[in-house]
Amino acid sequence: MAEFRIWSDDFPINGFMPKAQECNDKSFGVDGDGGNLSPALQWEAPPEDTKSFALTVYDPDAPTGSGFWHWVVVNLPADTRSLPLGAGKADGSLLPAGAIQVRNDYGTQGFGGAAPPRGDKPHRYIFRLHALKVDRLPITPDATNAVARFMTHLNEVDSTTYTGLYELK
């Protein structure tokens, strides 16, 4: 039996993400000028009782005292096995029907690209796919990402991770 796993062909596991995943929104004081695109992701072999998925992207190395949440998506249908490059657009148009993106720690909807402080050590970006035991989490796009993550963990059957690195030199 195959192991539940997630991966991206855009960068190797524990390897550096390309500039396409770098934040480019200067309104946050970010020094980057990348594409601000979520990477293409694929996954396989979720638990048999999976009824939906949630996806989170977290930087535990952000100098906040509590890390930084770059993307939180819930209510991905159980038959979903991939997301295309840029699926984290704010309008959600590249996500499967019914999926919801809640605000990231930038305060925006969708994927917020990597933006570690220039000259800091490489930061880890942990893409965690959560297999859930419910068809839908009872939240709206206005929910905080903390509430979405709480509901995700409360309903999790299993999860798998894929980590990328990024630094601004």
Residue with the bigger pLDDT between 45 and 30: it is 45
Mean pLDDT of 31-46: 93
Residues 6+ apart with CB under 8 A from 58: 67, 68, 69, 70, 125, 126, 128
Q: Give the tokens for residue 55.
A: 């996806």
Residue 28 has pLDDT above 70, yes or no: no
Domain chopping of the chain, boundaries: 5-166
pLDDT in tens, 90-103: 999 999 999 999 99
pLDDT in tens, 39-65: 999 999 999 999 999 999 999 999 999
CATH 3.90.280.10 fits 5-166, yes or no: yes
pLDDT in the model for residue 137: 98
The count of other CB atoms within 10 Å of the CB of residue 74 is 27
Mean pLDDT of 106-121: 93
